[in-house]
A and B are shown apart, each in its own frame.
Chain A
Amino acid sequence: MSLTRFTTSSIGRKQTMAITGLLLVGFLVSHLLGNFLIFAGYGDKYKHEQAKGLQQLLNKHSNAKQNVPTVNESKKNLAKINALLKSNPNLIESTDNSNIPLNTYALKLKELGPLLWIARLGLIVIFVLHMFMFMQTTLINKAARPIPYATVKDAGGSTTASKTMVYTGIILFGYILLHLADFTFNLFETTSVIDGVDEGLFGIVVNGFKNPIHTGLYVLAMFILGLHVSHAIQSACQTFGINHPKYNLLIKNSSNGIGIALALGYMSIPIFVLIKL
């Protein structure tokens, strides 16, 4: 096998793009399952933990002797606690938020150490390959018709999703950079404190999505993602030669279905946070 010939041929480029694209879809599925843990953070059990944390803080700093309160009771104490934290911000560091499921998950990932970096490196290589092939094929495609038609009409093959792959792809690239800046590198001004308690990553995500503009942008980006993926999976099948009159409809419907399911799944998180709080 000649790798140079393969990766510099039209079909080889497309197949590289297709396999890396499918691997990215695989990542999207597992990433979504992890993100769903946010919902678990809203469970009563964790609200109770939160209340306990609040009360401990309060006890420590106001000498009041009380039993562990209910959620409602400790919410009443919020003003007191918030004032306390304002005058003494390093108290926030001391609260333990590792019992929130999303944080536990993130912590477990971090504890993988070098393994996490190998996985990240793999993801980066896959992503860069996808982008590299995208740039090459797009440049070749644009050059292949230097003079455009005065009138172009679809004869019936292409779809909105297929025609916008290049644009949805570029938007996704921009979105991914923003998303990393947002929740991985925390480059934007944000806080992890909810109701006076440092809730770690969970707090950052929830506080972020309380902003309707933030949520709106994410929902829009996930719509774009749905469009890209809905064409991508069926396209990848064809690119690998999977085309059979018996299964074509199934492939098409599954591809559209996975695209829609991923988009709705991801959208549900910011929307839930926005309307819940």
Chain B
Amino acid sequence: MSSEKTINLTLKVWRQKGPTDAGKFQTIHAKDISVDCSFLEMLDIVNDEMARGDQDPVAFDHDCREGICGMCGAVVNGIAHGPQSETTLCQLHMRKFNNGDTIYVEPFRAKAFPIVKDLVVDRSAFDRIIAKGGFISAKTGGVPDANAIPISKVNSDLAMDAAGCIGCGACVAACPNASAMLFTSAKVSQLAVLPQGAVERTERVLNMVSQMDSEQFGNCSNHYECEAVCPKAIKVENIARMNREYLRASVVSRD
């Protein structure tokens, strides 16, 4: 952690004009960066200078900048979302770095996440997985009473923990096999432990896993790198639950 007020950094940022461009690292000197900046604000400052110098600024994804939307993300010095655990890139602050550091900034790399430009990747594969079963059947009509369906505290906690997933894709980025098991399992789990999720229970896991496979993510090897980088601390316990759900669904499914 830096004790200075401002630091100078050497950035090695991945630059790629478009999906078919080969791409390469660009060395950028970031000078007088306040340690109170977030990582994205640091990139803003760098970009501002590049734009003034008639250079193409570094493209990166962001939205809420308060760690809840899941839009931001890059691999910083080999770790998705950078060195601070349970923290999105937008919530990572420059006080975590030292004056003179060289920082590698790379996009999330996976075949299923094609690069759009520089650090921006297309994560719509996640949306297609959700569309295959990340929903429940609900009655239309009058508003039901609150707490009309009894749910145990344990299960409501498990569901809420799984629902913490913001879909940023860091799990895929960190997985040596670029597997999307942590994401998919969080989306399966949050419904699998609740009575509301019971109607589609069997088809949900079969369809979501099948979509996950066809997006060309890799297979889980149980390294648990995903859990280590997840900004929302989603647990691999969810992957185990999805494995159980899948085995069960494979046995009971009629088709």
Contact = CB atoms under 8 A, between A and B. Distances in A.
Interface string B46-82: 0000000000000000000000000000010111100
B240 A15 contact: no
Contact of A149 (B78, B221, B227): B78
Given A1-B253, A145-B218, A153-B77, A240 B247 contact: yes
Contacts of A149: 75, 78, 106, 109
A191 interface: no
Label chain B's interface by main secondary structure.
mixed
Contacts of A238: 222, 236, 239-240, 243
Nearest to A11: B246
Contact of B219 (A6, A13, A242): A13
The listed residue with most B CB atoms (<10 A of its CB), out of A14, A141, A143, A148, is A141
Task: Give the interface residue-count category, chain B.
Answer: 35 or more
Given A1-B250, A5-B250, A141-B219, A157 B206 contact: no
B237 A153 contact: no
Nearest to A240: B243
Contacts of A5: 206, 210, 250
Interface in A152-206: 152-159, 162-163, 165
Contacts of A154: 225, 228
B110 A145 contact: yes
Contacts of A241: 240-245, 247
Given A150-B106, A152-B78, A242-B240, A144 B217 contact: yes
Given A243-B236, A243-B240, A235 B111 contact: no
Interface in B198-255: 206, 209-210, 212-213, 216-229, 236-237, 239-247, 250-253, 255
Contacts, number: 145
A239 B243 contact: yes
A158 B224 contact: yes
Interface residues of A, number: 44
Nearest to B243: A241
A147 interface: yes
Interface string A44-74: 0000000000000000000000000000000
Given A2-B255, A137-B219, A235-B221, A151 B77 contact: yes
A143 B216 contact: yes
The listed residue with most A CB atoms (<10 A of its CB), out of B181, B221, B228, B255, is B221
B5 to A, nearest CB: 28
Contacts of B165: none
B78 A157 contact: no
B179 interface: yes
The listed residue with most A CB atoms (<10 A of its CB), out of B79, B223, B252, is B223
A151 B110 contact: no
A156 B228 contact: yes
B39 to A, nearest CB: 16
Contacts of A32: none
B207 to A, nearest CB: 11
A114 to B, nearest CB: 33
A141 B176 CA distance: 8
Nearest to A133: B219
Contact of A155 (B79, B246, B250, B251): B79
Contacts of A158: 176, 223-225
B174 interface: yes
Contacts of A151: 75, 77-78, 104, 106
B159 interface: no
B217 to A, nearest CB: 6
A265 interface: no
Contacts of B218: 140-141, 143-145
A146 interface: yes
A94 B109 CA distance: 69
Contacts of A240: 243-244, 247
11 contacts: A10-B220, A11-B243, A141-B179, A143-B111, A145-B109, A145-B176, A147-B109, A151-B78, A154-B225, A155-B174, A240-B243
Given A2-B255, A150-B25, 15 more contacts: A6-B250, A140-B216, A140-B219, A144-B110, A145-B177, A151-B78, A153-B77, A157-B224, A157-B226, A162-B223, A231-B222, A239-B220, A240-B244, A243-B240, A245-B237
